[in-house]
Amino acid sequence: MAGVIVTGGTGALGREVVRGLLRDGAAVAVPYRGDQGWQALRDSAPAGASLWGAPVDLADAEATARFVSDAAARLGGLAGVAAIAGGYAGSGPLEQAPPDEWTAMMSANLDSVHHVCRAALPHLLETRGAIVTVGSKLVETGGAGAAAYTVSKAAVIALTRVLALENKDRGVRVNCVMPAIIDTPKNRSAMPKSDPSRWTAPEAIARVVVFLLSPAAAPVTGAIVPVDARS
Please tell me the least confidently modeled range out of 3-7, 88-92, 118-122.
Answer: 88-92
pLDDT over 70 (residue 1): no
DSSP state at residue 160: H
In this prediction, residues 204-229 reach a mean pLDDT of 96
Residue 123: which of 157, 93, 78 has the closest Cα? 78
Percent of the chain with pLDDT over 90: 87
Report the 3 state secondary structure along 54-94. Answer: EECCCCCHHHHHHHHHHHHHHHCCCCEEEECCCCCCCCCCC
Q: Could you tell me the pLDDT band of residue 190, with boundaries at 50, 70 and 90?
A: confident
Q: Compute the mean pLDDT over every residue in the chain, rounded to the nearest whole number.
A: 95
pLDDT the model gives residue 56: 97
In this prediction, residues 208-226 reach a mean pLDDT of 97
In this prediction, residues 74-78 reach a mean pLDDT of 96
pLDDT the model gives residue 2: 67
CA distance 82 to 72: 14
pLDDT over 80 (residue 231): no
pLDDT the model gives residue 193: 85
Domain ranges of the chain: 4-226
CA distance 13 to 56: 19
In this prediction, residues 62-78 reach a mean pLDDT of 97
> Between 80 and 193, where is the model more confident?
80
Residues identified as active-site: 149
Percent of the chain with pLDDT over 70: 99
CATH class belonging to 4-226: alpha beta
Per-residue model confidence as pLDDT tens digits over 126-183: 999 999 999 999 999 989 999 999 999 999 999 999 999 999 999 999 999 999 999 8
pLDDT the model gives residue 230: 74
